[in-house]
């Protein structure tokens, strides 16, 4: 369940409460759902009860208690808890995470598009400045994702004036130049330097593009092993997700590599450098990348593997495919959260005319994927399990989001890097 779908679920709950006479308020046009704040719990929280309390003439806590059972009864909702002055904290059901990944894969690079600016024409009046024109060009596409239309002109009074670049970014090339101008906030002076060209973890543009290439390589190598991603862990032809035959040993052993041009995902691990094109191509050793340094939160060799089960020599762990789509590691949870928040990042970027919001969210998504990648493929003679299929689908969905976001910024998303 995406935040947009959850927002609609909450709106439906308000409407039901009004229809049965429990509340006497006007149903709002939209409801904000966000990650819980301090003292909160669950997957998402909303302040709708506090918003409606005044119009309802009741305390926010009472309004929250009225709405709670209506939200709890909706599909995909596991639990609703009221905290603080009346915040509704929502825990999604087991299938919600799989539904989120399915939604991304079905919508492709159009995932996150909405209609919040439908019918709106946004006038962007910019000065004759390289950065202002690049920002405006990007906003035309971002605003269109929300159903709006942007008209760009060089007219007074100017209403879009980001801090100009200190020098011409053209020598960096199109991708690095656009990133250098779009990644900083409009009020920050962009840094025009060769650092944007470095194939190193310290370069956020490289991490985003490399994470996309890793997602594509994982899919290619999985195809070499004879399987594809499935958000719920099983393909329709495999039978029901809770079939006893889906119980499988998920030890991580080594898998054969794909083509010579592919990244060999089976060798990507905390101690292993990538082989067969796994590191970005470069003209010299200075640009070579050790995959063990990519992803600031990559799991160490002693970290739990395959869903948080401690790794041990020769140990086997059975996992029911019916739970294969559940997040089982911090990296997986972070990645699911990043995918769920992508539509919100697009809305904020469009509403506030800030493409930097989108760029920064792509960095968050890339870092989560780079930390998650190590448990995606089976290793060695291990047969692909339901858990592997679910993780591959999640990685593929993350790659889709990165490709869509980079496209909106006017930056290429390479299949190989």
Q: Using CA atoms, how far apart are residues 411 and 220, in angstroms rounded to an integer?
A: 23
Q: What would the pLDDT profile of 354-389 be if each residue is shown by its tens digit?
A: 999 999 999 999 999 999 999 899 888 888 888 899
Taking the C-alpha atoms of residue 48 and residue 30, their distance in angstroms, rounded to an integer, is: 10
Q: How far is CA 274 from CA 268, 282, 359, 369, in A?
A: 6, 14, 27, 16
Helix (H) or strand (E) holding 103: helix 94-107
The pLDDT tens digits of the residues spanning 27-61 come to 888 888 888 888 888 888 999 999 999 999 999 99
Above 50 in pLDDT, residue 198?
yes
Cα 337–342–347 angle (5° rounding)? 135
- The CA-atom distances, in angstroms, between 152 and each of 156, 165, 298, 348 are 12, 20, 43, 19
Q: Is the pLDDT of residue 243 over 70?
A: no
pLDDT of 173 above 60: yes
pTM of the entire predicted model: 0.67
β 318-319/87-92 pair status:
unpaired
Res 219 pLDDT > 90: yes
pLDDT range class, residue 107, cuts 50, 70, 90: very high
Strand pairing class (44-46; 87-92): antiparallel
Residue 337: the pLDDT is: 85
Q: Are 31 and 11 in contact (CB under 8 A)?
A: yes
pLDDT of residue 132: 97
Q: Which residue has the higher pLDDT, 184 or 323?
A: 184
pLDDT of residue 278: 39
Per-residue confidence (pLDDT) for residue 254, from 0 to 100 = 32
pLDDT given at position 117: 92
First to last CA, the chain: 32
Among the listed ranges 183-192, 265-274, 396-405, which one has the minimum average pLDDT value? 265-274
Provide mean pLDDT across the span 230-255: 41
Q: Are 345 and 271 in contact (CB under 8 A)?
A: no
Structural contact between residues 46 and 90, judged by C-beta atoms closer than 8 angstroms: yes
């Amino acid at each position: 369940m995406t935040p947009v779908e959850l927002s609609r679920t909450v709106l439906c709950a308000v409407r039901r409460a009004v229809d049965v006479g429990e509340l006497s308020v006007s149903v709002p046009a939209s409801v904000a759902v966000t990650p819980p704040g301090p003292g909160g719990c669950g997957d998402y929280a909303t302040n709708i009860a506090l918003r409606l309390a005044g119009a309802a003439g009741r305390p926010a806590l009472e309004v929250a208690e009225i709405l709670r059972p209506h939200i709890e009864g909706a599909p995909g909702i596991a639990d609703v808890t009221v905290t603080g002055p009346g915040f509704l904290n929502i825990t999604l059901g087991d299938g919600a995470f799989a539904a989120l990944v399915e939604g991304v894969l079905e919508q492709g690079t159009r995932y996150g598009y909405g209609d919040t600016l439908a019918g709106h024409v946004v006038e962007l009046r910019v000065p004759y400045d390289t950065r202002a024109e690049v920002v405006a060009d990007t906003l035309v596409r971002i605003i269109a994702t929300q159903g709006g239309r942007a008209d760009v002109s060089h007219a007074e009074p100017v209403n879009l004036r980001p801090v100009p670049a200190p020098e011409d970014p053209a020598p960096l090339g199109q991708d690095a130049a656009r990133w250098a101008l779009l990644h900083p906030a409009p009020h920050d002076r962009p840094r025009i330097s060769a650092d944007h060209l470095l194939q190193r973890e310290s370069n956020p543009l490289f991490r985003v593009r490399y994470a996309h290439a890793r997602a594509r390589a994982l899919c290619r190598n999985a195809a070499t092993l004879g399987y594809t991603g499935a958000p719920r862990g099983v393909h329709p032809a495999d039978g029901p997700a809770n079939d006893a035959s889906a119980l499988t040993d998920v030890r991580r052993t080594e898998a054969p590599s794909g083509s010579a041009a592919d990244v060999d995902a089976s060798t990507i691990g905390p101690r292993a450098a990538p082989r067969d094109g796994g590191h970005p191509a470069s003209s010299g050793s200075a640009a070579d990348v050790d995959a063990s340094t990519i992803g600031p939160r990559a799991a160490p060799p002693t970290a739990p593997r395959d869903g948080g089960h401690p790794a041990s020599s020769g140990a086997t762990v059975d996992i029911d495919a019916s739970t294969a789509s559940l997040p089982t590691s911090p990296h997986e949870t972070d990645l699911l959260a990043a995918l769920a928040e992508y539509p919100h990042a697009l809305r904020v970027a469009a509403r506030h005319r800030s493409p930097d919001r989108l760029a920064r969210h792509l960095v968050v998504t890339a870092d989560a994927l780079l930390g998650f990648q190590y448990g995606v493929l089976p290793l060695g003679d291990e047969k692909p399990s339901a858990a592997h299929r679910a993780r591959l689908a999640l990685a593929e969905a993350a790659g889709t989001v990165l490709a869509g976001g980079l496209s909106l910024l006017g930056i290429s998303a390479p299949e190989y890097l």
